[in-house]
Amino acid sequence: MGVINAATTFLINIARGAIVDESALTQALQAGWISGAALDTVFTEPLPAEGPLWTLPNVFITPHCSGNSPRVKERTLALFLDNFNRYCQGKSLRNVVDKTAGY
């Protein structure tokens, strides 16, 4: 048996809801193909109350709060100041959004 199997596979999504096919995930969870999932973001937010993910015992759902870390304000300000200086110097910016990729 390999390292990746139903007993050890656990999906965690703290990125974008659109990167996960929720119907395929629901099927995989119900069939036992993976052991569970933790979702901080879903395709439709808030997740509809009638959604099947709410009823699965092997799913943890959080209210899109994974970005709230103890240093988030400090890191955001540091990035802003760095990018402001780079902009003033005509340099390329860090963490530029790629709208075609969705982030």
56-91 pLDDT, tens digit per residue, is: 999 999 998 888 888 889 999 999 999 999 999 999
- Cβ neighbors of 38 (< 8 A, separation 6 or more) are 10, 11, 12, 13, 59, 60, 61, 62
Does 45 qualify as catalytic in the annotation?
Answer: yes
Exactly one of 45, 74, 75, 86 is catalytic; which is it? 45
42 falls within a domain: yes
79 falls within a domain: yes
43 falls within a domain: yes
Exactly one of 22, 64, 74, 86 is catalytic; which is it? 64
Looking at the fold, whether 46 and 83 belong to one and the same domain comes out as no
* Domain coverage including residue 47: 10-61
92 falls within a domain: yes
Cα separation, 42 vs 48, in Å, equals 10
Lowest pLDDT segment from 5-9, 16-20, 24-28, 56-60: 5-9
4 falls within a domain: no
Does 75 qualify as catalytic in the annotation?
Answer: no
Domain tally, the chain? 2
Residue 31, Cα to own-chain centre: how many angstroms?
A: 23
What average pLDDT does this structure show over 39-55? 93
Exactly one of 16, 74, 75, 86 is catalytic; which is it? 16
37 falls within a domain: yes
pTM greater than 0.75: no
Does 71 qualify as catalytic in the annotation?
Answer: no
